[in-house]
A and B are shown apart, each in its own frame.
Chain A
Amino acid sequence: MRKSWVFIISCIVISLIFIPSAWCKTKTIKIGINAPMTGDIPKVGEGTKYAAEMWLEDVKAAGGIAVGGKKYPVKLVIEDNESKAESAVKVNTKMITEDEVLVIVGPQASKQAIPAGEVANNYKTPMISPWSTNPDTTKDRPYVFRGCFLDPFQGPVLANFIKGEFGFTKAAVLYDVASDYPKGLAEFFKQAWEKLNGPGSVVAFESFTTKDADFSSQLTKIIKSGAQVLFTPQYYNEVALIVQQAHELGWNKPIVGSDSWGSAETVQLCGKDCYGLFFSTHYAAAGAKGKTKEFIDRYNKKYGYVPDDVAALTWDSLGIVKTAIEHVGKLTGNIEKDRKNVRDAMAKVKEYDGITGKMTFTEDGDPIKCAVIVRISNKGEYEFYKSVCP
Chain B
Amino acid sequence: MMALIETNLPALQVVLPLVAAPVCAMLGRGSRSWAFATAVSWLTFLVALSLFAKTFGGTIISYEMGGWAPPIGIEYRVDVLNAFVLMIVSGMAAIVLPYARRSVAAEIPAERQSFFYTAFLLCLTGLLGVTITGDAFNVFVFLEISSLSTYALVASGAWRNKRALTAAYNYLIMGTVGATFFVIGIGMLYMVTGTLNMADLAVRIAAHGDSSTVHMGFVFILIGIGLKLAMFPLHLWLPNAYSFAPSAVTAFLAATATKVAVYVMLRFMFTVFGFDYEFQAATLEMVVLPLAILAMFAASLVAIFQDDLKRMLAYSSVAQIGYILLGLAFLTDTGLTATIIHLFNHAVTKGALFMVAGCYVLMAGTSSISGLRGVGRDMPWTTAAFVVAGFSLIGLPLTVGFISKWYLVQAALELGWWPVALLIMASSLLAIVYVWRVVETAYLQPAPEGVTRKEAPPSMLIPVWILVAMSIWFGINAMTTSAAASRGGNMLIGSSQILWED
Q: Do A and B come from one complex?
A: no
* A interface residues, Cβ below 8 angstroms from B: none
